[in-house]
Amino acid sequence: MTDTYLARIGKLIRTARLHRGLTQSQLAEALGTSQSAVNRMESGQQNLSLEMVARIGGALDSEIVSLGYAGPMHLRVEGGRRLSGAIDVRTSKNACVALLCASLLTTGRTTLRGVARIEEVYRILEVLGSIGVRSRWINDGADLELTPPARLSLDDMDADAARRTRSVLMLLGPLLHLSDRFRIPYAGGCDLGTRSVAPHLSALRAFGLHVTATDGSYHASVEASVSPQRPIVLTERGDTVTENALLAAARNPGTTVIRNASPNYMVQDLCFFLELLGVRIEGIGTTTLVVHGKADIDCDVDYAPAEDPVEAMSLLAAAVVTGSDLTIRRVPVEFLEIELAVLEEMGLEYESTPEYTSRNGRTRLTDLTVHPSKLTAPTDKIHPMPFPGINIDNVPFFAVIGAAANGTTLIHDWVYENRAIYLTELTRLGADVKLLDPHRVLVQGPVRWRRNELVCPPALRPAVVILLAMLAAEGTSVLRNVYVINRGYEDLAERLNSVGARIETFRDI
Ligand SMILES: CC(=O)N[C@H]1[C@@H](OP(=O)(O)OP(=O)(O)OC[C@H]2O[C@@H](n3ccc(=O)[nH]c3=O)[C@H](O)[C@@H]2O)O[C@H](CO)[C@@H](O)[C@@H]1O
Ligand SMILES: C=C(OP(=O)(O)O)C(=O)O
């Protein structure tokens, strides 16, 4: 075995352990070894016998460290089945990753309730772990507890994990209060064409942050004496840039005004969390945020992020394309109202329960029951807008819904340079999808789906859209390399199976 191979196995063990919600000591106990031996295994510094590999597999109740796991994960979908029953929406990837970064604002302990067990969260946990933050899953893996070290070891940041997510950018806001010189690897995330960091850098300049981008990293230096002297006007109403400005403003002892802020769901979750840290924020849910920060924050904080509107839209689309009666519980309806209004105009039949609140006590939820409906294409084009508007991440689902409807649906994704293109993959499953230009696709319905074998595009939502079309297509389809889906959805295949889908997970040997 080479060193790199050991390091790879070590990473797999670590991911599997985190997935099971075990600490290194708990795994060590199950294996009859020491915590330091587990630590060596995870960092690739311990030779492993096949017997030990098998024991680890047993202890983690997973074939994760079997020969097959090193390869990518694939799905085999037996389509053409109706879904039925009820399925819960989980907490959102986008709020969870922001909150993980926000945990660096306090020297106290952060408890996050019901955090989705998704790859994107694991990547940020790996990054935080590498700089010294201790994390452990508690309450049978339902909740997550984070404890910062006395001093972060920023030079040890796990670059591989950081490069696989764009959310790592949100470390800039908290870190500028903790260090006057640090480095963050270039951010990854969905490959949707150029995704600028310029708005982040321009917003954070007001807090004394200067960044040069060389050698695969953002090199940050901070002039601690600089703080915003006038309102920060964001050059784009982006979600993560707003969050970064909020994270920086939270520990600015004065008042920071952020204009052209995104009022979107993940930003609201972050604001509610910051309020628990004692940061007062006016204008939550609007485009002007007035933040009364605190120079030092040292309290413990306990917060339950809200449900994911994009997952809700995904499940709703699953019901629509499979012509199913399905109840989607815990839908954050405030962030899906426009999508629902459009779908209703298209002929979607659904009912919703009276509203109730999410565990954060703020976000409005409802349970939606979707019925098989005869849909007509929307009269107007589907295009996203910053909230309130059709959420950009929900736009791809209109391609698969449009395919199921009678008539022509025009989808105009002005936001991303490179996302609409992936929707043309639906033609390989029988849909009539024409790319008019890189931003616009024309979908002609109704479709007769047919099975196929495809590789996931490098973009989360288009990948899920393809999976949904496979659920609708009679016969057995295969979707290869679904890491990108696991980035944002917890056990999607298993959960869809619980409402009648038949999806099998397999891996290359
Ligand atoms: C972790 C996280 O929260 N990710 C979300 C966040 O990413 P994030 O905030 O990183 O989104 P980007 O910064 O990539 O912005 C998305 C795109 O919108 C463009 N843009 C945005 C706002 C604007 O007013 N004008 C404009 O042109 C940007 O140039 C870019 O092309 O927001 C995106 C847009 O809602 C979502 O798809 C992502 O799921
Ligand atoms: C584009 C997305 O995510 P990210 O910002 O993590 O790439 C998404 O959630 O669809």
* Contacts of residue 503, Cβ cutoff 8 Å, sequence gap at least 6: 75, 76, 77, 78, 471, 493, 496, 497
Q: For residue 303, what are the β-bridge partners?
A: 112
Domain final position from 303, 325, 355: 303
How is residue 239 written in tokens?
Answer: 């979600």
Domain final position from 256, 273, 303: 303
* CA pair distance 317, 320, nearest whole angstrom: 5
| Strand ranges of the sheet holding 432-437, from the earlier edge strand across to the other edge | 407-412, 440-445, 432-437
* CA pair distance 99, 174, nearest whole angstrom: 11
426, HSE (Cβ side, Cα atoms, 13 Å): 40
Residue 207 sits in the same domain as residue 150: yes
User: Domain of 421: which CATH number?
Assistant: 3.65.10.10
* CA pair distance 454, 466, nearest whole angstrom: 9
pLDDT for 67 beyond 50: no
Ligand 2 atom nearest the C-alpha of 240 is 5
Ligand 1 atom nearest the C-alpha of 460 is 39
* CA pair distance 103, 288, nearest whole angstrom: 24
* CA pair distance 293, 277, nearest whole angstrom: 10
Quickly tell me which residue has 């056990």 as its tokens.
491
Among 12-16, 258-262, 366-370, 431-435, the range scoring the smallest mean pLDDT is 12-16
Binding site membership of 196 for ligand 1 (Cβ less than 6 Å): yes
pLDDT, residue 17, reads 82
User: Domain of 33: which CATH number?
Assistant: 1.10.260.40
Residue 351 sits in the same domain as residue 408: yes
Residue 187 has what DSSP assignment?
A: P
Which tens digit of pLDDT belongs to each residue from 483-495?
Answer: 999 999 999 999 9
Q: Tell me which residues have their CB closer than 6 angstroms to ligand 2.
A: 166, 189-190, 393, 460-461, 488
Confidence category of residue 2, pLDDT binned at 50, 70, 90: very low
Residue 337 sits in the same domain as residue 289: no
C-alpha closest to that of 134 among 152, 116, 161: 152
C-alpha closest to that of 322 among 502, 136, 102: 502
**Chain-wide mean pLDDT for the chain?**
94
C-alpha closest to that of 126 among 92, 160, 174: 160
pLDDT for 102 beyond 70: yes
* CA pair distance 93, 502, nearest whole angstrom: 25
Domain extent, residue 118, equals 93-303
> How deeply is 32 buried, as exposed, middle or buried, from its count of CB atoms within 10 A (0-12, 13-18, 19+)?
exposed
C-alpha closest to that of 117 among 186, 19, 251: 19
pLDDT, residue 371, reads 98
Among 82-96, 181-195, 283-297, 365-379, the range scoring the smallest mean pLDDT is 181-195
Confidence category of residue 65, pLDDT binned at 50, 70, 90: low
* SS3 labels along 364-429: EEEEEEEECCCCECCCCCECCCCCCCCCHHHHHHHHHHHHHCEEEEEEECCCCCCCHHHHHHHHHH
How is residue 221 written in tokens?
Answer: 């230096």
Among 76-80, 184-188, 192-196, 221-225, the range scoring the smallest mean pLDDT is 192-196
- In total, how many domains does the chain have? 3
pLDDT, residue 1, reads 42
Residue 172 sits in the same domain as residue 232: yes
Proximal ligand: closest to the CA of 413: 1
* Contacts of residue 17, Cβ cutoff 8 Å, sequence gap at least 6: 24, 27, 38, 42, 60
Q: How far is the CA of 369 from the centre of ligand 2 (A)?
A: 27
Residue 105 sits in the same domain as residue 56: no
Residue 60 sits in the same domain as residue 207: no
Q: Are 479 and 105 in contact (CB under 8 A)?
A: no
Q: How far is the CA of 433 from the centre of ligand 2 (A)?
A: 23
pLDDT for 63 beyond 60: no
When pLDDT is averaged across residues 150-168 and rounded to a whole number, the result is 95
Among 22-36, 193-207, 416-430, the range scoring the smallest mean pLDDT is 22-36
pLDDT for 440 beyond 90: yes
Domain final position from 244, 277, 303: 303
Residue 50 sits in the same domain as residue 98: no
Mutation test of ligand 1: which of 91, 239, 265, 414 has the most ligand atoms closer than 8 Å to its C-beta?
239
Among 93-102, 187-196, 323-332, the range scoring the smallest mean pLDDT is 187-196
Atom 2, ligand 2: which residue's CA is nearest?
190
When pLDDT is averaged across residues 176-190 and rounded to a whole number, the result is 89
* CA pair distance 305, 338, nearest whole angstrom: 22
When pLDDT is averaged across residues 331-354 and rounded to a whole number, the result is 98
Mutation test of ligand 1: which of 235, 236, 397 has the most ligand atoms closer than 8 Å to its C-beta?
236
pLDDT, residue 70, reads 57
C-alpha closest to that of 212 among 170, 182, 177: 182
* Contacts of residue 398, Cβ cutoff 8 Å, sequence gap at least 6: 342, 378, 382, 390, 409, 411
Among 30-34, 87-91, 422-426, the range scoring the smallest mean pLDDT is 30-34
Among 70-74, 103-107, 168-172, 262-266, the range scoring the smallest mean pLDDT is 70-74
Binding site membership of 167 for ligand 1 (Cβ less than 6 Å): yes
When pLDDT is averaged across residues 175-203 and rounded to a whole number, the result is 87
How is residue 378 written in tokens?
Answer: 């929307």
Residue 188 sits in the same domain as residue 289: yes
Which tens digit of pLDDT belongs to each residue from 25-48?
Answer: 888 888 878 888 899 898 888 888
Atom 6, ligand 2: which residue's CA is nearest?
189
pLDDT, residue 61, reads 65
Residue 250 sits in the same domain as residue 342: no
pTM: 0.89
Residue 312 sits in the same domain as residue 456: yes
Residue 147 sits in the same domain as residue 184: yes
Ligand 2 atom nearest the C-alpha of 461 is 10
Residue 390 sits in the same domain as residue 316: yes
The CA distances from residue 311 to 329, 332, 353, 397, 409, in Å, are: 11, 10, 19, 11, 22
C-alpha closest to that of 104 among 119, 124, 90: 124
Q: How far is the CA of 61 from the centre of ligand 2 (A)?
A: 30
Residue type present at position 174: P
Looking at the chain, the whole-number percentage of residues with pLDDT higher than 90 is: 82
Q: How far is the CA of 365 from the centre of ligand 2 (A)?
A: 23
Which tens digit of pLDDT belongs to each residue from 198-249?
Answer: 999 999 999 999 999 888 899 999 999 999 999 999 999 999 999 999 999 9
